[in-house]
Structure 1
Amino acid sequence: MRGRYERGGRVGRGEREAVADGVRLYEAARAVAGDHARAVDAVRAALKPLHDAAVARELDALPVSRLQDVTEGRLRLGNVEKNGFGTVGRVLDAGAYRLRQIPGVGQRTADQALAAARRLAEAVHETVAVRIDVDRPEPDTTALVTALHVLVEAGPGARRAVDRAAALAERMGPPLAGAKPAVGRFRMLLAGQEKRARALAAVAEVRELTEEAAREGLPELFAQASVDLLRGPSSEVAAWVDFELRSAEYYSLLAEISGRLPDAAAAEGFLPEGIAERVRAQQLDDTHRRVSLRGYQAFGARFALAQRKVVLGDEMGLGKTIQAIAVLAHLAAEGQSHFVVVCPASVLVNWTREIEARSALRAVVLHGPDRHEAFADWKGRGGVGVTTYEALRGFPAPGGGEVGLLVVDEAHAVKNPQAKRSQAVALWAERCERALFMTGTPMENRVGEFRNLVRMLDAGVADALGGQGGPVGSVAFRKAVAPVYLRRNQEDVLTELPSLQRTDEWEQPSASDDAAYREAVYAGNFMAMRRAAYARPANSAKLERLREIVREAGENGQKTVVFSYFKDVLSVVKDALAAELAGGGATVCGPLDGSVPAARRQGIVDEFAAVPGPAVLLAQIQAAGVGLNMQAASVVVLCEPQIKPTIEHQAVARAHRMGQVRPVRVHRLLTTGGVDERLVAMLEEKSRLFDAYARRSAVAEADPDAVDVSDTELARRIVEEEQARLGAGDTSEGRPVPDRP
């Protein structure tokens, strides 16, 4: 028998060790999965009481009349409401027996009312989201934050480990089972020749899988993930501090674990099914990425990869930068080595920080006096070259296939095809196989401007949008542009975002305000009209209201950002607040305006965020309303209405964005009876156009150019109308001055 065994196949120490190594790897993979499952179960257990309480609050706020909606008006609930059961929650708590005690309510009515209430309760249970109040750390929310902290701290590495562990366990399980006879001599002696051959083949497969895992560093990955998943926070305070710093990651995990993800169609930008299906099939490699993605963000990255040249038009605050970095990381994993990001100078620092923090890629700043040396270094060594529109013009355009991806941030800045910056970007986009244009405002005044952006990416799609034969109306427009355009809105995909409260602060102008305004109108000076409310600070109605807002915010420990188009208005505000806050301990940062070097702008925002108590950041809206993140502020003040609605939206989105943990209050300071009233009416009309064409909308069909008015024409019209209203005589001589701050 011994001879037959030796001829059929010999098992020795090497085979036994190979199987033992495979078993250890298999058990490590299963341990990672178990550790992760326990961490997830801890989050679910902490979430349940908070979610149940949120459902109860929602049901207690629903009037009992909503039950008629569910039953199409068949229920008669007047007596139910009169007897103190005025909400759906109260009806559910009462139960059938208590409801039947109400005069006029029989068995059938009680049963129908309860059935309708349960249907509403099920809907609320599926849709209500838990919001974590950082200012009121109750025991239940603290338990949830600490449970989430384990998974957030473990980071993308743990998720990658769990995914790889699941795949390895699936592959390793069958050969380990087949290799069992090979772990002992007597089993092999008793096994038939065919069974011995299968066992040795299984051993070979186990050895191959183990060696492959070792080459990929999986044993170390699994061990580190288990350590991270078993390590709790150093303290509850540490968990809360980390939550405030990285709330977006906490909420992302919470949405995933709770299953309360945004509507799939909304997360996919309501793309046609054919395109959406192709995007879903696109793989996304996370090897070089150091941040987890939300579902809609992963879809956005896949969209850019699948469609190759696109506009990502997500609303401000949804993480377009993270999506771009995910695309860069994927392409780097595929072997691409050179990438370029083009952005405004104000966000150069932010881009380099994000690339280095969120990925393993090398960021190279191609800006400043040494930009050509830096460009040569980037050409030789590769990485992500981060440059500005102006600097890009000085670099030679790449050859075909040289640049893996061109990212153009705030791409609406290149909407004018006659501008040199636009021509430079267009040339680079033509020479690159992939291009990702990013903008939350793809169209400011007219659809034609958006068409110009699309032409740089896909001339065929652009042609389909133009002229008499183009699509008419927002629905047809969005369908035509779907191959190159993806947009999602905050309200559709960020269910946890704190509330945004907008208040128009209408002030009656003081006598001195009115006098300054009349002088500006008589002079035909549009820009002076816009800032007349601050021309005489001693008696400024707007300035007095601004002081009150800042004072109230400070008393509540809140930070405030004050935006104005005009540098001289910010100077007036700074003087007024310095006197107001003198001795109060509050800090005034800025002003952050166009004269501040790009590298310094992020530093000012960081200083503002680092102030431990109340603080005020003064910012010129053009310089700080784009790119910089100001989640530290929960109060926003707009000193005057802007000419474009997108300028206001961008400014507000600097604070009300993913990562904000407090409700945001926005105060727009306005004076009655003059240019502010006219601008507000115009902004509402421009917003309607933007909603119809750039956002998902069911607005009725309309001519895309119907409300287009250039800024100069708008200023001229308002000046003439105000001169006529105030009896300034011959309005033909009044001309607005150039639009300068």
Structure 2
Amino acid sequence: MTQEEFRLAAQGQRRSSGARTAQRRQGGARRAQDNEGLIPVLAKAVREVESGVQRGRSERTRFQVVALLVREERARLKADPDLSEQTRAAELKRLDGIASILAQTAAREPSLFTLLAEDAEQTDATRRLRRELQEAAGLEPDPATEEPARQFSSVVRTDRQVVPQSVARAQLITPFMAPDFSAAPPRLETRRLAGWEMIGPLLNSFEHPAPGVSSCMELPTARPSVLLPPDVSLMDHQSRLVASVADGHRTFLLADEPGLGKTAQSLLAAQAAQAYPLLVVVPNVVKTNWAREARIWTPQRTVSVVHGDGADVDGFADIIVLNYEILDRHVGWIGEHGFRGMIVDEAHFIKNKKSQRSQHVLEIAERIRQRVANPLMMALTGTPLINDVEDFLTIWQFLGWVTDKSPRPALMARLEETGMTPADFGFYPAARRAVVDMGIVRRRKVDVAADIPARRIADLPVELDDADGRSIRAAERELAARLVKRYDSAVEARREHRGVDVDGIDHELVRRVAGWELSDGEDSTKGDNIFAMVRRIGQAKAGLAADYAAQLVRSAGKVVFFAKHLDVMDAAGEVFAKRDIRYTEIRGDQSASARTKAIDSFVKDPGVGVIVCSLTAAGVGINLQVASDVVLAELSWTDAEQTQAIDRVHRIGQTEPVTAWRIIAAQTIDSRIAELIDSKAGLAAVALDGASEEETTTTDIRLEALVTLLTDALGARGDAA
């Protein structure tokens, strides 16, 4: 049906409803044929569409199928010479009733109007549902529905879909956003490449490039393009990408090597493009870190993280972050939310187009392009290619450069401008350049080494598994309760023996209570002390830390993985084995010869990607500068121990900048310990600048962690009172 037909159907609804009322008053049973054929099936389907949209579900596929079948059935009725005029009029009135419901539904969700265009895309799900409705009506399915989809498949599962309450409120407040086609690409006037299969040649142009050819689009000179927070600054290579966005470029495959600040670049790119609300899809291991980085680089923008069914998500936030694993539950409302930009982190996760993860990402991207002209679309990955050059395809499709069969108009226009076809000798380098200029940005550490610090520590907050996270947080609350009880007993004892009352929190007594707990914990074999808790956190982080290290191996090369406990090292080894990543180990129970063999294997064998090290056994005396990335799976108790570990890589002779990735369990005492280590490091730096040295003992951090835990618990109790 067309939009004009919808308007006329809505006007005719009142007339048809009056006729139906008169018909009911006449009494008598409805004719049996009224419940047969296609129209009753469509009537049931349209009510499901109406009900689904009212509940906030995505009903795009069902809406499109019903509209198509109504259009075709109307044409059939008008052309059927065997129908009497009375029967024809009655059937058309029934179709008008269905059309009026569709019209009202589309008025509630205007993006549905885009599905009525003659050239609207029909997905595999559309064809599949169309066959089902035709078969339910006793009709022979249209053979055309057996054709494969030209683009992506709709994989929205309505039984899993959720619409968070905050999102529903936000969409009710601003329910209408007219599609904007002002920046639609012009039609191509020349069709030199018409009839040519283009995807193969484009891939070949990257598979066999000329030696030394650039993989980075031309970027403008670095200049201030956005307002930065007062305590941060951009490096030259970061500023150049943001300047490109300010100049109007909107699609990027940002393939910088790890550690070059892709997160900051993409967040500031969204600011330069005013691409809000912004959707960020990331692996679960970095979800919390993205929210933290957004607050650092764009503090004026609100950010909300989606967990599970999204009960706590802020539907009015400027930036919404969620992970691939829960995308299937949220793809419906996301497609209709009005996002003006989308960032996909670790975009190599979507290389397999057959996976639901990839199909969800592609579907959301397509819906955004249907609603917004020239949205900001960014794919971030240090490893755009893992298996072969075809890994590019899904990323290119996400960015809107190609369909699964051919280049889209913007890329095709660039290819036409070459004046050549794949039969010409110079076509392949020109085609490669055309794709790169669509927005591929690739910089290596060695290329921008002068712009980045020689050594940095990057915190990577991770969310623990639900069961582990709940258990650890419960244990932390129990420890805090025990400390409070011990503190209260000490206060009461002092009141009884000395007659002294405490006004507020006695911080000296807090330190004494923390010291007693620390002393008891060192001598205790129970699992409820701070030592056991930190170890449990390390065990819970092991798989996430190893998974991140595996990603670094694929993208950046060799990685040094540090842990405190053998069970954490063992868990990491299991992850690397499953990922087919060869690794070696330095453990405290090794002989000297085994230790030497492990180090030589890591340093000299290109096939060994990881060395798993004990913080205590490998923290000193070895040289691992063949790597430039360090993963600290567990936190040490001193800054000195942490620094010693990093210095196995960051030492004289190292030719690349070193990044130490510190894995921190969010919303646990792990975060407090990290902050305390940093504070001690700052103090040590000040002391060293003054030509003196401050020694931080092992007990200090542990004591301060307990002091912080008890102080926070006492403060929370006072606030509650």
Same fold (TM over 0.5): no
Task: Give the TM-score, by structure 2 length.
Answer: 0.34
The structure richer in helix per residue is: 1
